[in-house]
Amino acid sequence: MTTKIKITINEKQIEVAEGSSIVDAAVCAGVIIPTLCFHKDLCVAGNCRVCVVEIAGQKRLSAACATPCEEGMEILTNSLKVRNARKQIIELLLSEHNADCTLCYKNGNCELQKLASDYKIMTQDFIQLAPLRKYQIDHYSPSMIKDDSKCIRCQRCVRTCAEIQGVSALTAAYKGDRMKIATFFEKPMNDVVCTNCGQCINHCPTGALVERNYIEEVWDALANKDKFVIVQTAPAVRVGLGEELGFEPGTRVTGKMVAALKRLGFDAVMDTDFSADLTIMEEGSELLMRLKKVLVDHDPNVKLPLATSCSPAWIKYIEHMYPDYLDHLSTCKSPQQMFGALVKTYYAKHFNLNPENIVSVSIMPCTAKKFEANRPEMHDSGYRDVDYVLTTRELAIMIKQAGIDFLKLDDRSFDQIMGASTGAGVIFGATGGVMEAALRTAYELVTGREVPFENLNIMPVRGMEGVREASILIENPLPDWSFLEGIELKCAVAHGLVNVKSLMDSIVSGESQYHFIEIMACPGGCLGGGGQPIPTNPEIRRKRALAIYAEDQGMPLRKSHQNPEILKIYSEFLTEPLGEVSHHLLHTHYTPRERF
């Protein structure tokens, strides 16, 4: 039991849990205190100072985000003293800021802009400092753009990269007026340990860190009569997109999203869930093959645990941080890249299209997928497998630009022959989902029976705990798999690279012995990806996760190996998992990188 204390906020007496911050307490009193450097995902910094409030008996104002309530505290959040100070702080921020809002990518979804608007800052009395500096925009990364002239030094990105991702590609450098957010030796973003996860973008309140957008390129392709433009949509997009277009967090908008994509003019609207199911077929087979090679053949060159490979930020992370462990990665490409390789081969052949005229677009909750599509090895179709990657946010922008009234759209369904999916493909969007999908299929393949969990819901791998473990005992396997009799298949799931680091360290030290680990770089998995709507926070992630599992529950088919289009592609094109065509199109290799 937490002790309750009494405090007064703007003359209203309330009871709050001891130790809660004034910002949180104010919410209980129906008062919203403006914040900038504060973010629910991050530790408190208390550096922007816009949240200052007056506490009776104190001459100085206090930062509401950083001040715990104490018994009997009398707090004023809107006194003249507070208002004057707060307004002046906003003026200061703007005086240091390159506030060309109409030319800014974040125009309309910027926390600084909102504050300026709420407080009606209509004068520029202070000297404008931004023009006195020489700012250079870093647009070298295929995933993101960093513009220091729009940075308010709130360090949300720094805390994100350190606390959520454990990467610290961005740090605060220099002091005084020269203080800035910088990379190692101020190298460009594409030349440092950055994983392109985009979490810093998602947590940045301003336009200082944004995704590199490919909206105009996609419009151009759509307008080009000679091009056949195919789009794939990742599982997490359908539970996030609605937030940008007027729906509550956690609303599933799959049908409306498909309808909107068709209205935008895409020639075929298909589903990354399809290739997620395909990933399960390939990766599940790879897992069983590795188990056999280790347990039966005692092949020293085959490594366990097998680690999933569908999160490109995780891939870049392990390439930098654990280059000696690349053999543990599944050779499977991510669902996006599997899809891309098939679009310009299998799909083109089936519909008799010239792959040269196909433009392959993907809608992803992720900025690292932009980097991934740009990797030199992702040309197995003979062309660039995925031409443009748009985030959930960019798709929302296109829908708005096209004047589509999203709320009123009728549901449509995905096109064939790479549009069918199962619940297993859908849950790829949540942490633990790949593990759950893989177990549903692999267990059945080995035993001929369904996984021993009610309604196929493997609850131990679900949830938001940073690292989760599960194990399944294999009993009475089919004859082919008799070597697995009595084996307890040990699995672990980690999301958020800071948690991934602790899992990897326990594997490196030999402390943990797993057979299979699922890694997603972003907190909550893709549903909390760097390309998802802003804001993303613990509550919103929970809602999106519920939506993902509801979508799974509502699907007629919930196991990847039941997907009819998967059966079809194996019989008509790929022949078998890990077969020669698969090997060529669906699998890849990795590159060790420097730690800095």
- Just list the catalytic residues: 283, 286, 310, 330, 369, 372, 377, 526
Could you say whether residue 36 binds ligand FES (CB under 6 A)?
A: yes
Helix/strand/coil for 27: helix
Phi (first) and psi of residue 101, to 5 degrees: -50, -40
Measure Cα distances from 95 to 35, 129, 287, 575, 581 in Å: 18, 6, 57, 64, 59
Of 41, 45, 21, the C-alpha closest to 31 is 21
Smallest distance from the beta carbon of 84 to another protein, in angstroms? 7
Contact (Cβ atoms closer than 8 angstroms) between residue 259 and residue 391: no
Could you say whether residue 166 binds another protein (CB under 8 A)?
A: no
Q: Which stretch binds ligand SF4 (CB under 6 A): 166-174, 331-339, 478-486, 583-591?
A: 166-174
Alpha-carbon distance of 334 to 316, in angstroms, equals 13
Q: Strand pairing of 488-495 and 12-17? A: unpaired
**Closest CB to another protein among residues 85, 446:** 85
Could you say whether residue 134 binds another protein (CB under 8 A)?
A: no
Site for ligand SF4 in 75-104 (CB under 6 A): 97, 99-101, 104
Q: Strand pairing of 74-76 and 4-9? A: parallel
Could you say whether residue 333 binds ligand SF4 (CB under 6 A)?
A: no
Spell out the residues 6+ positions from residue 175 whose beta carbon is closer than 8 angstroms to its own: none
Contact (Cβ atoms closer than 8 angstroms) between residue 41 and residue 538: yes
Q: Which stretch binds ligand FES (CB under 6 A): 30-38, 193-201, 319-327, 407-415?
A: 30-38
Binder among 129, 215, 402, 498 for another protein (CB under 8 A): 129
Phi (first) and psi of residue 65, to 5 degrees: -70, -25
- Radius of gyration of the chain, Cα coordinates, nearest whole angstrom: 25
Site for ligand SF4 in 239-258 (CB under 6 A): none
H or E stretch covering 231: strand 228-233
**Closest CB to ligand SF4 among residues 317, 514:** 317
Could you say whether residue 313 binds ligand FES (CB under 6 A)?
A: no
Could you say whether residue 124 binds ligand SF4 (CB under 6 A)?
A: no
- Which tokens sit at 235? 């599982």
Smallest distance from the beta carbon of 207 to ligand FES, in angstroms? 18
Contact (Cβ atoms closer than 8 angstroms) between residue 450 and residue 469: no
Alpha-carbon distance of 490 to 276, in angstroms, equals 22
**Number of shown-chain residues binding ligand FES (CB under 6 A):** 13
Alpha-carbon distance of 438 to 375, in angstroms, equals 26
Binder among 35, 77, 109, 155 for another protein (CB under 8 A): 155
Could you say whether residue 112 binds ligand FES (CB under 6 A)?
A: no
Could you say whether residue 20 binds another protein (CB under 8 A)?
A: no
Could you say whether residue 209 binds ligand SF4 (CB under 6 A)?
A: yes
Alpha-carbon distance of 361 to 383, in angstroms, equals 13
Phi (first) and psi of residue 349, to 5 degrees: -65, -45
Residue 88 binding partner per list ligand SF4, another protein, ligand FES, none, with a CB distance cut-off of 5 to 8 Å that depends on partner kind: another protein
Q: Strand pairing of 388-391 and 358-364? A: parallel
The mark string for 58-87 relative to ligand FES (x by CB under 6 A, - otherwise) is -----x-xx---------------------
Smallest distance from the beta carbon of 365 to ligand SF4, in angstroms? 14
Q: Which stretch binds another protein (CB under 8 A): 78-86, 202-210, 231-239, 484-492?
A: 78-86
Helix/strand/coil for 75: strand
Alpha-carbon distance of 130 to 170, in angstroms, equals 21
Tell me, what amino acid is at 210?
A: V
Alpha-carbon distance of 503 to 492, in angstroms, equals 8
Binder among 7, 25, 48, 399 for ligand FES (CB under 6 A): 48
The mark string for 6-45 relative to ligand SF4 (x by CB under 6 A, - otherwise) is ----------------------------------------
Could you say whether residue 22 binds another protein (CB under 8 A)?
A: no
Could you say whether residue 329 binds ligand FES (CB under 6 A)?
A: no
Alpha-carbon distance of 58 to 148, in angstroms, equals 36
Site for another protein, rule CB under 8 A: 44-50, 52, 59-61, 63, 66-68, 81, 84-85, 88-89, 92-93, 95-96, 125-127, 129, 152-153, 155, 171-172, 174-179
The binding site for ligand FES (CB under 6 A) comprises 35-38, 46-51, 63, 65-66
Q: By CB under 6 A, name the binding residues for ligand SF4.
A: 97, 99-101, 104, 106-107, 110, 112-113, 150-157, 160-161, 165, 167, 169-170, 181, 194-200, 204-209
